[in-house]
Amino acid sequence: MGKLSDTRLRAIVKAGKPVAGVADGDGLTFTLSAKGTASWVLRYRFGGRQKEMTLGRYPDMTLKMAREEASKARVRIAAGTDVGKEKQIQKASHRTAGTVKDLCDEFMRRVVEKERKRPEYARRMLKKDVIPTLGKYSAREVTDRQIINLLDRIVDRGSPTQANHALRLLKQLFRYGVSRRYLDKNPCAEITAAAAGGKEKARTRALSKDELGKFLKALNETDIHAADRLALKIILATCVRVGEMVKAEWSDIDLENGVWHIPAEHTKTGEAIDIPLVPKVIEWFEALKPYAGESLYVLPARRRRNKTHLKEQTLRATLRKADGALPYFTIHDLRRTARTHLAALGISRDVAERCLNHKIEGLDRVYNQHDYFDERRQALELYTSLLQALESGQAFNVVSLAQGQSASA
């Protein structure tokens, strides 16, 4: 049992005279400053030196609580921890934690920009949803309730999948804050997808022939930028991703030989691929040249023509204007549409998958190194013929590859 009692402590405080230290035992000391601040201090030896650590203020920390905290600290000291120094480090991290915006900026600079192949998605989400809502708050003080409110707003605007993406990004953001000792805990740690956008369903949307015809007709008749119209047709006919289209450079496109080389840094798979260009697609690329001017990009940004390329959002917005009032579909659904019609045209699975630059899975990926370039050119010629027929409203009478091969057998 220590030497101090609640009665004595109250008497010391009431007297109001500064006290350098009244010992309770085993290093626990009660102090009273000239300004009347009463505190608990633990005095201990570590590494052969006398040290001390403030445990808390009295009466917020009672005598009983002070003894309990002192006991815990002594156990840690005996185990080799300099508790006073540790507390100083924690205080320093509290001061440098900053706001959520500060944390976002550092996270983007140190992690996203260095480790992610396509950092623009994370940057856009932080800028659009996280910083406007949480940016001004201390990163240490953000609560799980605030996170849930942010996710609810995303869901309420009709973007449950986006809410799930935001949750994953927020978990990474605050996990980074914890790893840097800016935070004590991750406020997203216990939040699941069920509390965000819910279980995600795989998209299955693919445009039918009738819908493709309506879309192509609307694409030609809607008042949109001609370069955007051509770009969407190229995306549809070549099966490329929108990011691969907007980042395309003229130096990678050989119109004379009908080859579009997409470097590894522009593909989702991280592997370069050569896309065969059929005559109609070459014609569309030629039509894009006047709009590109002297830019190295096929689709230069309209305001900074020689500085960067068009943003993916621009083509997504164009698609919404020219979707022919069809049931909702995304620009990525055009790839699923292409894959569906390639199958209907009798294109083999391996060739169709390579047309979409999908990795071949399993042992085939190891042993089958064939790129199917000639087969892909033949498949895309057939598919583009279908698109041209649907665009003009004519009947499509081309025999599928499967039927042609069967007839010649």
pLDDT digits (tens, 9 = 90+) for 319-361: 999 998 898 899 999 999 999 999 999 999 989 999 999 876 6
Which residue from 174, 110, 169 is spatially nearest to 140, judged by alpha carbons?
A: 174
pLDDT at 371: 80
Model confidence at 224: pLDDT above 70: yes
Question: pLDDT tens digits, residue range 276-312?
Answer: 999 999 999 999 999 999 899 999 998 766 678 999 9
Other CB atoms within 10 Å distance of the CB of residue 186: 21
Model confidence at 243: pLDDT above 50: yes
Q: For the chain, give every domain's residue range.
A: 6-85, 100-195, 209-408
- CATH 3.30.160.390 is right for the domain spanning 6-85: yes
pLDDT at 93: 54
| Chain centroid offset of residue 317 CA | 20
Other CB atoms within 10 Å distance of the CB of residue 398: 14
| Chain centroid offset of residue 200 CA | 16
pLDDT at 361: 60
pLDDT at 367: 39
Task: Say which range, 188-192, 286-290, 376-380, has the weakest mean pLDDT.
Answer: 188-192
pLDDT at 407: 42
CATH superfamily of this structure's domain 100-195? Tyrosine recombinase, N-terminal domain (1.10.150.130)
Question: Among residues of the chain, what percentage have pLDDT more than 90?
Answer: 60
* pLDDT band, very low/low/confident/very high, at 217 (cuts 50, 70, 90): very high
* Residues counted in the chain: 409
Which residue from 91, 97, 109 is spatially nearest to 180, judged by alpha carbons?
A: 97
Model confidence at 365: pLDDT above 60: no
CATH topology of domain 209-408: hpI Integrase; Chain A (1.10.443)
